[in-house]
Amino acid sequence: MGDDMVRTRGRRDFRRLFAYLALTAVAAVVAPVVAEQPALAQCYACDGVDPNTNGCTGTTTVRELTAAKTGVRIELRFSANCGGAWTRSTQPGNNRYGTDIFLESSDGLRYKHWLRSDSQEWTPMMRWTRTLRACYGWGYEGPNWYNYDVFECTSWW
């Protein structure tokens, strides 16, 4: 073999080794990040599940309102760990206001939670792939779910 052929093969082998090491380094960095990503689309079984007892941590408030009449804070909450969303209410101070909170999807699924005396309460959750909003009803006055003296909702998410 000539010297030129040995140098060419050596450069080619070096480039292959360098490319392999670079690819391995990228895979080592990316693999843990991908593995730690929450399985958002796996929440199909979470409809109707209590978010507080199912490890739904890392929550974010994506929509909220403060009820004009009572000051109750209504939040549409989302957990990337669970891939689900729910409505949470926070009563102001020691006062206890309100009748019901709702989690509603645009396709008609609705979860209602009757407010008791806890300062924070929540609805069951729905999967995040639905279009959702959080609602609050005060002063129930009729046979239908929307017959309240005050009925307020967040915007859709």
**What pLDDT was estimated at residue 35?**
42
**What pLDDT was estimated at residue 54?**
85
Which carries the bigger pLDDT value, residue 105 or residue 68?
105
Distance CA 88, CA 74 (A): 6
The residues, ordered by sequence, that sit 6+ positions from 32 with a Cβ below 8 Å of its Cβ are none
DSSP string for 24-78:
HHHHHHHHHHHHHS--GGGGGG-TTB-GGGTT--SEEEEEEEE-TTT--EEEEEE
Tens of pLDDT along 115-131? Answer: 887 789 999 999 988 99
pLDDT at 61 over 90: yes
The helix/strand/coil state of 20 is: helix
Contact (CB, 8 A) for 126 and 109: yes
pLDDT at 94 over 90: no
Tell me the whole-structure pTM to 2 decimals: 0.69
Contact (CB, 8 A) for 153 and 137: no
